[in-house]
Amino acid sequence: MEVAGIISELYDVAVLPGVRRPMALGFKSDEISRFVTIEYPNAPPVFQPFKAAPAAQTAPRQPAAAPGYRFQMSVDMTVTAVLQQYHPLTFPPLAEQLRGRSLREPLVTAVARVGDEPIAMALAEIAPDNAGAHLLSCFVATAHRRHGIATRLLAHLQQALAQRGLRYLDLSYSTDWPSLPVVEHFLARYGWLPPQTLLYQYKVTYDIGSAAWLHDAPPLPDGCELFPWSDLQPAKHQSIQRKLKTGECPANLDPFQADAHLAFNSVVLRHGGDVAGWMVTHQAATDAIQYTSFFLRPDLQRQGLGLALLAAAIRPQVDSDVPYGIWQVAASNEPMLAFVRRYLQPYAMKQTERRVARQVLGGE
């Protein structure tokens, strides 16, 4: 039995004799125009949208059929449904991805089954601009690898996305994935645009506790004070929101992203009553804190305040039982890269790159 999407009430369940996959689509939502299912084990996918979908400009590739597998698309999955039904078939694990941010529903899935058992899944999230999608996960159970399953899952997924009018599919991946050679071979083989390095990631250890700059920060200039983010008054939240709206603070440094996972060592810098900087951190895993958003008002930069802000956030972690700090710096942010290379990289046990690749889908 497969129940996808939000069910508020389920009653009088009956089994229909002789019917293999009874299904009812409601008229209240637009689900009826979006639902697509592919149930033909050895045949190319058949799409039967109820509403005319925009035609794809480029025909998606059709890999050779692997016998015994059947593929099923769903374009209206909730996060809860994916977690309940397919979590072991996600990589990176979906629960881990949800620690960093919330996902936009509905999600799109392509699932491969043997009999009724799901053995592989590709999962995509529609981008906020509704022009493309992000591939969140693609996973094939070990026993079924190297049978072209991932290739077919992605072909199905791409075709469904193109039929919905989406123009691109992005994949963001990390150079420390065990499957890196397979992933990059796949991208090159199946016509993805060349990957770009988006950001550098450093995994810093407890050793940073020995850094002199962590303890020898000069006194703060008059009118400046550092205090925990949790002590920030709600009225000050509004002043930060204003800074984000006016562009005074770049949107990618939004300190409210992933609020639910805020870590204990987030700190704020106040200058003359104004919130002038912050280092906002998140619990990325039980053993790691991610240093997510580091902002300092431009007129206060280059006075040692950045280092003081950093030290105020790092010191409580060094005194805690969370051993790792994760730092991410955009590849385009040269000044910050230079800063991180000087002060943090010496204590990094691991350095990885986050790369992004794009497949042009041809939807309109």
The residue ranges that bind ligand COA (CB under 6 A) are: 91, 138-140, 145-151, 171, 177, 179, 182-183, 185-186, 189
**Which lies closer to ligand COA via its Cβ, residue 140 or residue 322?**
140
In the complex, the smallest distance separating the C-beta of residue 149 from ligand COA, rounded to whole angstroms, is 4
Q: Which two tokens stand for residue 309?
A: 């802000």
Range 182-190 contact pairs with CB under 8 angstroms and sequence separation of 24 or more: 186/150, 186/151, 187/357, 190/61, 190/151, 190/154, 190/359
Shortest distance (Å) from residue 94 CB to ligand COA: 12
Closest CA to 141 of 91, 182, 83, 85: 91
**Nearest distance from C-beta of residue 182 to ligand COA, angstroms:** 4
Nearest distance from residue 157's CB to ligand COA, in Å? 11
Q: Which two tokens stand for residue 341?
A: 């290379």
Our CB check for ligand COA shows the closer of 322 and 357 to be 357
| Least gap, CB of 190 to ligand COA (angstroms) | 7
Side-by-side strand order, sheet with 117-126: 70-77, 107-114, 117-126, 132-140, 168-174, 348-360, 193-204, 324-330, 288-296, 274-285, 267-271, 224-228
Q: How far apart are CA 161 and CA 54, in angstroms?
A: 10
CA 155/CA 145 separation, integer angstroms: 16
Under 8 Å between Cβ of 108 and 73: yes
Nearer to ligand COA, 183 or 296 (CB): 183
**For ligand COA, which is the closer residue by CB, 145 or 297?**
145
Burial (0-12, 13-18, 19+ Cβ within 10 Å), 200: buried
Q: Are strands 117-126 and 107-114 parallel, antiparallel or unpaired?
A: antiparallel
The minimum distance between CB 12 and ligand COA, in angstroms, equals 40
Q: Which is nearer to ligand COA, 147 or 297 (CB)?
A: 147
180 or 211: CB nearest ligand COA:
180
Neighbours of 140 (CB within 10 A): 21
Q: Smallest gap, in angstroms, from Cβ of residue 145 to ligand COA?
A: 3
Q: What is the DSSP letter of 184?
A: H
Q: Which is nearer to ligand COA, 135 or 214 (CB)?
A: 135
Torsions phi, psi of 81, nearest 5? -65, -40
